[in-house]
């Protein structure tokens, strides 16, 4: 492995300054489960890494019924998965995070890393996008908030500028009467997603009409993508067989699957359809039962 500098600033500002001064040649080190592995495999060769371990407050998590969930980017995935607020208010997020890597990886990897690594197959971004999450980005002086669905620009690429660090992940308070689910297709129990389908439906319990729907897909495009064409078909309708079939037909419209060593384009598209149908069926069943299992 190529040698690199290791720095561990104790303030957010210092971390941003070091990254800015390095002009992109240094990388943020969070859990290291991607960065170190990629460096070892010579996929990356950073001049230095900047650990955020000593920056205070980056592992905090809090929930406010009005404002929503605030997650520090350095919070370990296993802590996200088991946090009370996540389990009770955002169960589909807890479920999605639980599918990432192995227990050992989740004990090390962070939610900020899973997002900023910008892998198209990452499991947390699609469900966070469905929940309408955004990220707060700081450069030591200013802050900006970016919707997660606008955050990714390509595989491993984001809107982050040199010297910027994700400071917080903000998930809006869940509205009343929702159903959310993340379904992951893989080759084995321990795998990255071949396809991930995240769905969040807001419904009217009285007439069972879906008032809002967000579907986001993993591993079928250079970035996690919203399945907008499909969403439009469903919104304003009841989930019946006809609507579900129409929606499934359009489930791949916003995707552009590829064939790689993991599987083929065709199987990926099949999985998107299959799991979209499953997610919609689950939503229908939930809504029909008045929001209980």
Partner 1 sequence: MKGNIIGKRIPRIDSVPKATGTAEYTVDLKLPGMIYGKILRSPLPHARIKSLDVSAAEALPGVCAVITAADVPMGKFSFFQWLADKTIFSSDKVRYVGDEVAAVAAIDADTAEKAIELIQVDYDPLPAVFETEEAMTADAPLIHDQESNIGFKVERHFGDPDNAFESCDFVVEGCYKTDRVAHCCLEVSNCVASWTPEGRLSIWTNAQAPHTQRQEVARILEIPLQDVRIINSHMGGGFGSKLVMDMKLPIAAVLSKKTGRPVKIQNTRAEEFSTAKTRYGYTMYVKTGAKKDGTLQARTVRVIADNGAYHDKGPATLNFSSMMFATLYNIPNIHYEGMVVYTNKQMSTAFRGFGNPQLTFACEVQLDELAEKIGMDPVEIRRINANTPGQKLQCGAVVPTCGLRECIEVAAQNIAWKEKYNRKDKLRGVGVANMVHTAAGGRYYGYNATDSFIKVADDGTVSIVTPGLEMGQGVHTVVAMIVAEELGLDMKSVKVLSNDTDLTPYDLGSWGSRATFVVGNAALATAREARVVIIETAAKMLDTKPEFIDLENGMAVARGPGMPEKSVSMGKLAAYAINNMKAPISVKGQWADDIPEDWDIKTEFVKNVRSFAFATQTCEVEIDKDTGEVKVLKFVAAHETGTTMNEMLAEGQIEGAVMQGIGFTLMESMTLDNGRVVNDGFLDYKLPTFGEQPEIDVQLIETGDPHGPYGAKGIGEAGLVPTAAALANAIYNASGIRVTELPITREFMLNALREK
d(CA 73, CA 234) in angstroms, rounded, equals 33
Binding of partner 1 by 3 (CB under 8 A):
yes
Give the interface segment with partner 1, choosing from 76-84, 142-150, 189-197, 225-233 (CB under 8 A).
Answer: 189-197
Binding of partner 1 by 1 (CB under 8 A):
yes
- CB closer to partner 1 out of 41 and 141: 41
- CB closer to partner 1 out of 142 and 188: 188
What tokens does 193 get? 């997603």
Total binding residues toward partner 1, as defined by CB under 8 A: 22
Binding of partner 1 by 41 (CB under 8 A):
yes
- CB closer to partner 1 out of 37 and 256: 37
Least distance CB 17 / partner 1 (angstroms): 29
Least distance CB 281 / partner 1 (angstroms): 11
Site string for partner 1, 98-127 (x = CB under 8 A): ----x-------------------------
- CB closer to partner 1 out of 3 and 293: 3
Binding of partner 1 by 270 (CB under 8 A):
yes
Binding of partner 1 by 2 (CB under 8 A):
yes
3-state secondary structure the chain: CCCCEEECCCCHHHHHHHHHHHCCCEEEECCCCCHHHHHHCCCCCCCEEEECCCCCCCCCEEEECCCEEEECCCCEHHHHHHCHHHHHHCHHHHHHHHCCCCHHHHCCCEHHHHHHCCCCCCCHHHHHHHCCCEEEEECCCCEEEEEHHHCEEECCEECCCCCCEEEEEEECCCCCCEEEEEEEECCCCCCCCCEEEEEEEEECCCCCEEEEEEEEEECCCCCCEECHHHHHHHCCCECCHHHHHHHHHCCCCCCCCCCCCCCCHHHHHHHHHHHHHHHHHHHHHHHHCCCCC
Binding of partner 1 by 191 (CB under 8 A):
yes
- CB closer to partner 1 out of 113 and 132: 113
Of 263, 279, 280, 284, which one interacts with partner 1 (CB under 8 A)?
263
- CB closer to partner 1 out of 93 and 272: 272
The residues of the shown chain that bind partner 1, judged by CB under 8 A, are: 1-3, 41, 102, 185, 187-192, 261-264, 267, 270-271, 274, 277-278
């Amino acid at each position: 492995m190529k040698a690199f500098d290791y720095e561990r600033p104790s303030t957010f500002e210092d971390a941003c300054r070091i990254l800015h001064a390095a002009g992109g040649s240094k990388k943020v080190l969070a859990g290291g489960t991607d960065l170190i592995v990629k460096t070892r495999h010579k996929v990356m060769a950073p001049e230095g890494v900047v650990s955020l371990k000593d920056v205070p407050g980056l592992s905090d998590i809090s929930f406010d019924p009005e404002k929503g969930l605030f997650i520090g980017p350095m919070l370990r995935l296993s802590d996200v998965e088991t946090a009370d607020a996540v389990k009770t208010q955002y169960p589909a997020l807890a479920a999605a995070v639980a599918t990432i890597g192995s227990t050992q990886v989740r004990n090390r990897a962070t939610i900020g890393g899973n997002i900023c690594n910008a892998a198209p197959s990452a499991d947390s971004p699609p469900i966070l996008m469905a929940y309408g999450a955004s990220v707060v980005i700081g450069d030591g002086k200013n802050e900006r908030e970016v919707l997660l669905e606008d955050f990714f620009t390509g595989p491993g690429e984001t809107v982050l500028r040199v010297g910027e660090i994700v400071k917080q992940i903000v998930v809006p308070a869940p509205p009343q009467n929702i159903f959310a689910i993340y379904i992951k297709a893989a080759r084995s129990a321990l795998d990255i997603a071949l396809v991930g389908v995240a769905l969040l439906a807001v419904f009217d319990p009285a007439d069972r009409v879906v008032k809002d729907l967000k579907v986001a897909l993993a591993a079928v495009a250079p970035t996690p993508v919203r399945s907008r064409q499909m969403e439009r078909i469903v919104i304003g309708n009841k989930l019946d067989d006809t609507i579900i079939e129409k929606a499934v037909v359009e489930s791949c419209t916003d995707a552009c699957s590829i064939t790689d060593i993991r599987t083929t384009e065709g199987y990926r598209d099949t999985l998107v359809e299959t799991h979209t149908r499953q997610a919609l069926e689950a939503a229908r069943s939930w809504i029909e039962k008045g929001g209980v299992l």
